[in-house]
Chains A and B, each alone.
Chain A
Amino acid sequence: MLRYLASRLMQGSVVILLVSIGTFSMMHLIPGDPVDLMVGEAQVTQEQLDMIRKKWGFDRPVHEQYFTWVVNMARGDFGQSVVRTGVPVRNMISEAAVVTAKLNLLAFFISIALAIPLGVVAAVRRYSGFDYAIMVSSTLGLALPNFWIGLMLIVLFSLLLGWLPPFGLPSWQGYVMPVAVIVANQTALLARMMRASTIEGIGEDYVRTARAKGLSEGIVVSRHVVRNALLPVVTVIGYRIAFLLSGTIVIENVFALPGLGQLFIESVNRVDYQVVQAIVFVLSVLVVLGNLITDLVYGYIDPRIRIG
């Protein structure tokens, strides 16, 4: 087990290194740099632009800039933002990550709590009114764009009813609508998957055997069907954990939440190298760890998948 872990972590380190080189290269291949945007419409001369570039080290060769960045990262120094000048990137990421993590974790637990029972019940009562209702609402949940659902919720709960703030996180109420939008989308996906895998499980031989042993239908479903049906759902959940911090860009934009997705998009648009590289680094670490955790959870749920 330890050897397996060490091997997976080594592989992950190589992936992270390659991702960092790729990101760095891509960011530096894009013509232009943050200086043009920093300066905006100020009446600058070319000479002055060059001086500002020099101040930020953009005049140095790319490989040198990369080496400096790697060395700093190894020391835990994520550098400083060029756009939000003087602010450590580490602070920017940690502040934004807290917002996104809160949002996603809340939505994540609510979705699982809703989707698994809904999917199982829909499967067990296949072709019933309840099943059709779940299928229709989950289709809508997947098909309707997040920003549209978000705007409609704002129109309803902020403009017409006046119950919730239209943007930001002034209190816990600020979380209600953005979480609801993510839950709508995520529950739809997980409920459909849970329904499909439960239906598949119900027809398996071991379920027939369990029924033949005289077990009640409730115990058959909960002990035998659900446990196996969870496997594909866990895969998706693992995938969602990996992209936890990057998957809510649209929601953050609509509800004006200063999360990691928003920070990432803004930083890409403004070619803020340090921030983009640091976010990609953090996300790649999360992807590697998320995949590892998913594999370990597999083994726990299904004893046939044991890791040596």
Chain B
Amino acid sequence: MSRERDLEQVLRELSPSTRREFLKRAAAMGITAAAAQAMLIKNPTIVTAGPSAKRGGTIRILSHQEVASLSPDDIGPTMQWNMITQIHNALVEVNDNFVVERVLASNYLASKDGMMYTFTLRKGVKFHDGTEFTADDAKYTYDFHMNPNNATIQGVLFKSVDKVETPDKYTVVVKMKEPNAAFLRQAATVLIVPARYHGRIGEKAYKAAPIGTGAFRLKEWRPAEFTVVEAFDQHFRGRPNADFFRQDIVPDPSVRSIALRTGTSDSSAWPLLSEDNLRFEADPGYTVFRTSSLATNHFPLNNDHPILSDKRVRQAMMHAIDRQRLIDDVFRGTAIIAHSIFPPALQYWYEKGVKQYPYSPDRARTMLEEAGWRMGPGGVRVKDGQRLSFTCAVITGDRARRPEAEITQQDLAGVGMEMRIVERPVATILSQLPKGELDASLFNWTYNAGGGEPDPSATLAVGAARNFSRFKNQRVEELLPAGLREVDPAKRKKIYSEIQKIVAEETPFLNIMYWDWFIIFNKRIKGLPASTQSGSTLIRDAYKWWIE
């Protein structure tokens, strides 16, 4: 539990100053509380290298899977995010403490009713081909996503946008169809592409030959092997310190660990084995950032399943699983128990007062008895001739989580539940679970919308594409759209607190843990932040680093 307490301590220390700064600046800018909730402002502006910064060299990081595309629309996978964000910028970006920063926009203003956002753009920003970034590029990018014919992945972020206007070369006005409190943290952080270039070559070709306003420009892309970007001299924040930034793809975590040890690489952007992570953390020769993942490690359960549809059974399962043992034995303590759909790292939205399920096999047995499940032959409970048995699909070849499923299987067997384990490809699981064609599974998924935005509509709304548990709750159905419409942060917080409480009570899936996310750097890399709350955005700031 010490890891959990450490995290809480950090959050307590960080929170007040950020909040004060946020309110002060919001008031100073004449912005309403409605818009300000997403604007915990930290001034970005121009970053200049400190006096000790050195120029030159190649910073090399490691990831695990190919970089299949360099288009901002394909920014989802971490290894793609790492490179696409070096090449592109958004009007505003969410930093590694979940604070919205102004980047290509030098300023922005939201109307009181949340129906209009006005962005004033930074002047003199160049794309890598030397053309100037203007309002036309922002409008083109947003319009591209809004056009249903383009079927972009990020198109859904613009569902509340009515139109985008450009009254002058450096002003972008976004008019909404309806208020959407998630707009600033989601749509406005979509990375900008150059209108003329993208329009000429098209999205497909752009995926392999991107041009952005980022600190680095593409030098060489070999998807399954490496991607290299080089310093962009005319970057609006100033030229990055390193000449090159390179990401090598190394699937095996042990080899990534050795590459870090030998100095072949400077960082592993994708976690190593738990024991290696801890070894590097204890080694003074490395700088290690340990943050809490935003994705929940959980067992989605089919809530329409004849057995799993009973809330008492699902709650009994929560009591039956020794989650701390899973954390300690399988992940060597590098995780915290998940009580809610939001991790404690999302400090503003995290609701502490949700129902919790301490490990208690006796309580689980009692609950199952109360639900009418009596102990039957072979130690498996029965009710009306039906065995308390279901199947859990783990991802084929998932060496990290398979042991977790096996220990859970033992815990459940201890209270008279039979969980059979099968392996399925991840594409099959993602396809079959929401359709109710699988009983249960085990993987990690983000129930907030990422970047500090809490909206869980995509995972909790009835019929949502990612409602893996086929969760249905009338009150949550009312709260989800209300949460998006509500632009007052305090009122919004109440909505998401209620959603968290309902989900914890209903327990449609088994919340297990939030993994610790390790990002390890060789000590020769300087310019890193003192601390971070979100490991995933840390790599984006490579333009600030230098090699000692």
Give A residues with C-beta under 8 Å from B.
30-34, 36-46, 48-49, 51-52, 54-55, 80-81, 83-87, 95-96, 147, 151, 154-155, 158-159, 162, 165-169, 253-256, 258, 262-263, 266, 268-271
**A residues near B432, Cβ cutoff 8 Å:** 31-32
Contact between A84 and B255, CB atoms less than 8 A apart = no
B14 on interface, CB distance cutoff 8 Å = no
Contact between A85 and B437, CB atoms less than 8 A apart = no
Contact between A258 and B225, CB atoms less than 8 A apart = yes
Give 9 closest A-B pairs by Cβ, nearest first: A32-B431, A32-B427, A86-B204, A258-B224, A40-B76, A36-B430, A43-B458, A51-B151, A256-B250
**A residues near B53, Cβ cutoff 8 Å:** none
Contact between B437 and A45, CB atoms less than 8 A apart = no
Mind listing 26 A-B residue pairs with CB under 8 Å?
A36-B430, A38-B153, A43-B457, A44-B156, A45-B465, A51-B151, A52-B151, A81-B68, A85-B71, A85-B207, A86-B205, A86-B208, A87-B208, A154-B258, A159-B261, A166-B258, A167-B255, A168-B226, A168-B248, A253-B251, A254-B252, A258-B66, A266-B65, A269-B396, A269-B425, A270-B427
Contact between A155 and B258, CB atoms less than 8 A apart = yes
CB distance from B268 to the nearest CB of A (A): 12
Residue of A whose beta carbon sits closest to that of B437: A31
Contact between A34 and B427, CB atoms less than 8 A apart = yes
Contact between A256 and B248, CB atoms less than 8 A apart = yes
Contact between B68 and A46, CB atoms less than 8 A apart = no
A187–B249 Cα gap in the complex (Å)? 30
Contact between B74 and A38, CB atoms less than 8 A apart = yes
List which B139-184 residues lie within 8 A (CB) of chain A.
Answer: 148, 151, 153-157
A41–B466 Cα gap in the complex (Å)? 8
> Known: A32-B427, A168-B226. Contact between A45 and B156, CB under 8 A?
yes
CB distance from A151 to the nearest CB of B (A): 6
B69 on interface, CB distance cutoff 8 Å = yes
* Total inter-chain residue pairs, C-beta < 8 Å: 159
B414 on interface, CB distance cutoff 8 Å = no
B264 on interface, CB distance cutoff 8 Å = yes
A38–B258 Cα gap in the complex (Å)? 30
Residue of B whose beta carbon sits closest to that of A83: B68
CB distance from B12 to the nearest CB of A (A): 29
List which B418-445 residues lie within 8 A (CB) of chain A.
Answer: 425-432, 437, 445
Contact between A253 and B66, CB atoms less than 8 A apart = no
Give B residues with C-beta under 8 Å from A.
65-66, 68-69, 71, 74, 76-77, 148, 151, 153-157, 186, 203-205, 207-208, 222-226, 248-252, 254-255, 258-259, 261-262, 264, 295, 396-397, 425-432, 437, 445-446, 449-450, 455, 457-458, 463-466
Residue of B whose beta carbon sits closest to that of A52: B151
Contact between B258 and A39, CB atoms less than 8 A apart = no
A45–B151 Cα gap in the complex (Å)? 12
CB distance from B433 to the nearest CB of A (A): 10
**A residues near B430, Cβ cutoff 8 Å:** 32, 36-37
Contact between A54 and B69, CB atoms less than 8 A apart = no
A258–B66 Cα gap in the complex (Å)? 9
A95–B221 Cα gap in the complex (Å)? 13
**A residues near B259, Cβ cutoff 8 Å:** 166-167
Q: Given A42-B156, A48-B156, A258-B223, 11 more contacts at CB 8 Å?
A: A30-B425, A36-B427, A37-B430, A41-B450, A43-B156, A45-B465, A48-B155, A84-B68, A151-B252, A266-B224, A268-B425
A39–B425 Cα gap in the complex (Å)? 16
CB distance from B527 to the nearest CB of A (A): 26
CB distance from A218 to the nearest CB of B (A): 46
Contact between B250 and A167, CB atoms less than 8 A apart = yes
**A residues near B251, Cβ cutoff 8 Å:** 253, 256, 262
A253–B249 Cα gap in the complex (Å)? 10
Contact between A44 and B425, CB atoms less than 8 A apart = no
Contact between A46 and B258, CB atoms less than 8 A apart = no
> Known: A41-B295, A43-B455, A167-B248. Contact between A36 and B224, CB under 8 A?
no
**B residues near A253, Cβ cutoff 8 Å:** 251-252
CB distance from A68 to the nearest CB of B (A): 18
A253–B458 Cα gap in the complex (Å)? 34
Q: From the candidates B225, B258, B464, name the one contacting A168 in the complex (CB within 8 A).
A: B225
**B residues near A271, Cβ cutoff 8 Å:** 425, 427
Q: From the candidates A31, A54, A87, A167, name the one contacting B151 in the complex (CB within 8 A).
A: A54
**A residues near B66, Cβ cutoff 8 Å:** 84, 258, 266
Contact between A42 and B151, CB atoms less than 8 A apart = no
Contact between B458 and A44, CB atoms less than 8 A apart = yes
